[in-house]
C-alpha cells in the first residue's frame, strides 16, 4: 500500500485523552517485568481500523516493542520506514514484519525482523510479555512482543527498509496528555486514529494504537495501585 492520501499532521485534533499519566516508579524494568506476571485486568483500546483491502486474508505479523534501559529511564525504540516501501511507507513503526514459515512463533518473528531491519542482536533483548494482536486496515494481524533492551548494542539499519532509528522516553508515551485522536475521510470511509507527536517525529496509526494499549495494560494492572 502506498502512503495514505492525506497528511495526518495537517488534520485537526479531535480530542486529547484525560486519563492520568503512569507514575514514574511504574515505568522501570523491574516493575514492567512484574506487570506481565500479574493477572490481566484490562481491555484493549476499542479501535477498529476500516479495512483497506476488503476480502483479503489477514497476514500474520509481529513487532518488537523494545524498551531500552537507559540511565535516565526507559525509552521506546522506533524506526521510520523508507518512503518507497509498499506497506506503511515513511511511517513510524516498531521493528517487525510478516511471519515467515521458519519462525516458531511471534517472538521468533519479532526477534528475526528486529535483527534484519536494524541489526539488533537477540543477546541484548529480554522478552517480558506480549499485548493482544492488533489488526491493521491494510490487512495485517500484528502480535506486539514487549521486551527490555540492554544498552551496549550497535545498530546496523537496513537502508532499504529503515530511514532512521530513534528513541522516545517511555514516560512521554505513557502520559495520555500526548494521546491525541484525529480523523480523516478516505473515499467514503472515515478513519479515526491515535497520534502521539514527539519533537519532529509524528507517531500515529497502528504504532500509536499499540502504545495506547501498552498504557491501558499498565494502568489496568494491580501494580499501579
Instruction: Map residue 85 onto helix, strand or coil.
Output: coil
Give the pTM: 0.89
Output DSSP code: residue 222: G
Q: What is the mean pLDDT of residues 56-80?
A: 95
Question: Bigger pLDDT: 105 or 9?
Answer: 105
Residue 3 lies in a domain: no
Question: Bigger pLDDT: 8 or 24?
Answer: 24
Range of the domain at 62: 9-39+47-219
pLDDT at 5 over 60: no
Residue 2's pLDDT is 41
Please tell me the distance from the alpha carbon of residue 100 to that of residue 72, in angstroms, as a whole number: 36
Q: What is the mean pLDDT of residues 3-24?
A: 80
With cell 521458519, the residue in question is: 102
pLDDT at 15 over 70: yes
Q: What is the mean pLDDT of residues 3-30?
A: 83
pLDDT at 55 over 70: no
Q: Where are the beta strands (DSSP E) in 82-225?
A: 92-93, 96-98, 125-130, 134-135, 140-149, 162-169, 180-186, 189-198, 201-204
Q: Where are the beta strands (DSSP E) in 36-173?
A: 59-70, 73-81, 92-93, 96-98, 125-130, 134-135, 140-149, 162-169
Residue 1 lies in a domain: no
Domain count, the chain: 1
Domain of 154, CATH number, reads: 3.90.79.10
pLDDT at 113 over 50: yes
Residue 4 lies in a domain: no
Please tell me the distance from the alpha carbon of residue 33 to that of residue 151, in angstroms, as a whole number: 17
Give the least confident one: 19-28, 35-44, 70-79, 102-111.
35-44
Asked whether 194 and 213 are in contact (CB, 8 A), the reply is no
Please tell me the distance from the alpha carbon of residue 74 to that of residue 190, in angstroms, as a whole number: 35
Please tell me the distance from the alpha carbon of residue 198 to that of residue 84, in angstroms, as a whole number: 23
Residue 184's pLDDT is 79
Residue 40's pLDDT is 78
Residue 24 lies in a domain: yes
Residue 148 lies in a domain: yes
Round the average pLDDT of the chain to a whole number and report it: 87
CB crowding 175-204: b at 16 or more within 10 Å, else e:
bbebbbbbebeeeeeebebbbbebeeebbb
**pLDDT confidence tier of residue 81, bands split at 50, 70 and 90:** confident
Please tell me the distance from the alpha carbon of residue 95 to that of residue 79, in angstroms, as a whole number: 7
Residue 190 lies in a domain: yes
Q: Strands of 180-186's sheet, edge to edge?
A: 13-16, 180-186, 189-198, 201-204
Residue 212 lies in a domain: yes
Residue 224's pLDDT is 44
Residue 52's pLDDT is 57
Question: Bigger pLDDT: 192 or 151?
Answer: 151
pLDDT in tens, 122-134: 999 999 999 999 9
Amino acid at each position: 500500500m502506498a502512503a495514505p492520501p492525506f497528511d495526518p499532521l495537517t488534520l485537526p485534533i479531535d480530542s486529547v485523552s484525560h486519563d492520568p499519566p503512569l507514575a514514574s516508579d511504574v515505568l522501570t524494568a523491574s516493575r514492567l517485568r512484574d506487570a506481565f506476571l500479574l493477572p490481566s485486568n484490562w481491555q484493549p483500546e476499542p479501535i477498529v481500523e476500516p479495512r483497506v483491502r476488503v476480502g483479503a486474508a489477514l497476514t500474520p505479523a509481529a513487532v518488537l516493542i523494545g524498551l531500552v534501559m537507559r540511565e535516565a529511564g526507559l525509552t521506546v525504540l522506533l524506526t521510520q520506514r523508507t518512503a518507497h516501501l509498499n506497506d506503511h511507507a515513511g511511517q513510524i513503526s516498531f521493528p517487525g514484519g510478516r511471519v515467515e514459515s521458519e519462525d516458531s512463533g511471534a517472538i521468533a518473528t519479532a526477534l528475526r525482523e528486529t535483527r534484519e531491519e536494524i541489526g539488533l542482536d537477540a543477546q541484548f533483548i529480554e522478552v517480558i510479555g506480549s499485548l493482544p494482536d492488533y489488526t491493521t486496515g491494510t490487512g495485517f494481524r500484528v502480535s506486539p512482543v514487549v521486551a527490555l533492551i540492554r544498552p551496549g548494542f550497535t545498530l546496523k539499519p537496513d537502508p532499504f527498509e529503515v530511514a532512521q532509528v530513534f528513541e522516545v522516553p517511555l514516560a512521554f508515551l505513557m502520559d495520555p496528555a500526548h494521546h491525541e485522536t484525529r480523523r480523516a475521510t478516505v473515499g467514503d470511509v472515515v478513519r479515526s486514529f491515535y497520534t502521539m507527536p514527539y519533537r519532529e517525529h509524528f507517531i500515529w496509526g497502528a504504532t500509536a494504537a499499540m502504545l495506547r494499549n501498552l498504557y491501558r495494560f499498565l494502568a489496568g494492572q494491580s501494580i499501579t495501585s
